[in-house]
Amino acid sequence: MKTIDGGVCAAKGFSASGIHCGIRKNKTKRDLSLIYSETQCSAAAVYTTNLVKGAPIEVTRENISDGFARAIICNSGNANTCNADGRTVAEKTCCILAEELGISPKDVVVASTGVIGQPLDIEPISDGIPSLVAELSKDGCDSAAEGIMTTDTKKKEIALEFEIGGRICRIGGIAKGSGMIHPNMATMLVFITTDTAISPDMLRKALSGDIKKTFNMLSIDGDTSTNDMVVVLANGMAGNREITEENDDYKAFAQALNAVNVSLCRMIAADGEGATKLLECSVSGAETESVAKQVAKSVICSSLLKAAMFGADANWGRVLCAIGYSGAQLDVNTIGVSFKSHAGVIEVCRNGTGVDFSEELAKKILLENEIEILVDLGCGQYSASAWGCDLTYDYVKINGDYRT
């Protein structure tokens, strides 16, 4: 497996584009993106568990209920959520795009991101779709990645090449996400493409299994979005024998999917609203995988710990505190904690109590922009990781006037 260029356009048969259509007032920002496959694709998706859901989620869920799709269209600047005509706008978007592409409206995934509760005018979208389609390109991933951004400061894209049954396969993804990120069964917006031949059932199985150890282990601020969606399209153009069961080919695909998802998780966490540091909590020595996940997620969600990491304060007591209220059943007297970065590693807690350590070295380690919080529960063989970011003054500034 190796990293390659191209993002969602790296896989055979996929092209993408992104334009400014007028949803955003800032004309320098793209606000409408498209990903398209030359041929029909197996499709799988997971969605937010928030009871308040964006209209595009309802439409997409119905459109791909048969397991197939060919196009993904997404606007930024408006979430199309809690709008009286939201479903109508989402459905019209699918119909207008389908007519322009010459495909069925049921083969369109539609998504939106941005402010909740503001009406979304169909006119800029309908006027922009012809240009959006005309600009489809194998080099269009950057434009598409930019078009789905809201408070993101960086585009998030990745592509990998791997082998299945002697055939070279490719998988790539783009994501948006910087705030309102605390998913359960999905995350922000993530669009993944692959030319691997895999049945809809196996694609759904691979995706639903992987998010439990990737996107479900990611948190920026504890808020679950109304529009969270992860979608994978697989068009089979790599020419491998179709994956229809859990065999070695399935394992190879699942491994590649996991690598893409982990990369996107890290990019999203590092670009959290106002963030200066990527945090990763790596838990080992757990009695069960469930316990490892509970602990890792609890630590990464702690506002007090996140604030301490912003200040480069080795306040390890906040790690123990978060473990203690995680709900996991464990022996607190066997817990060890260390902090690690490119500047080194330092042990700060052993067997549930503090150890002497150099505050100067700890400060140096925690001043780096990527920090790993190592937790050894000392009572088993299971492990898990979770990702997040520090909590800074700028998070409040960004969200204090996000709408206005």
Catalytic residues: 187
Which alpha helices (DSSP H) does 75-155 contain, by range?
86-101, 122-134, 141-147
Q: What is the CA radius of gyration of the chain?
A: 22
The secondary element (H helix, E strand) that includes residue 403 is none
Among 204, 260, 178, 225, which Cα is nearest to 10's?
260
Helix, strand, coil percentages (3-state) for the chain, rounded to 5, are 35, 30, 35
Judging by beta carbons within 10 Å of its beta carbon (0-12, 13-18, 19+), is residue 167 exposed, middle or buried?
A: middle
For residue 111, what are the β-bridge partners? 74
60 three-state secondary structure: helix
Asked if 204 and 44 count as a contact pair (C-beta separation under 8 A), the reply is yes
Asked if 258 and 210 count as a contact pair (C-beta separation under 8 A), the reply is yes
Which residues, including other chains, have CB under 8 Å from residue 124's CB and lie 6 or more apart?
21, 22, 23, 32
Asked if 198 and 236 count as a contact pair (C-beta separation under 8 A), the reply is yes
42 three-state secondary structure: strand
Which alpha helices (DSSP H) does 102-199 contain, by range?
122-134, 141-147
Among 218, 194, 189, 188, which Cα is nearest to 206's?
194
Q: DSSP letter string over 274-321? A: T---EEEEEEEEESSHHHHHHHHHHHHH-HHHHHHHHTT---THHHHH
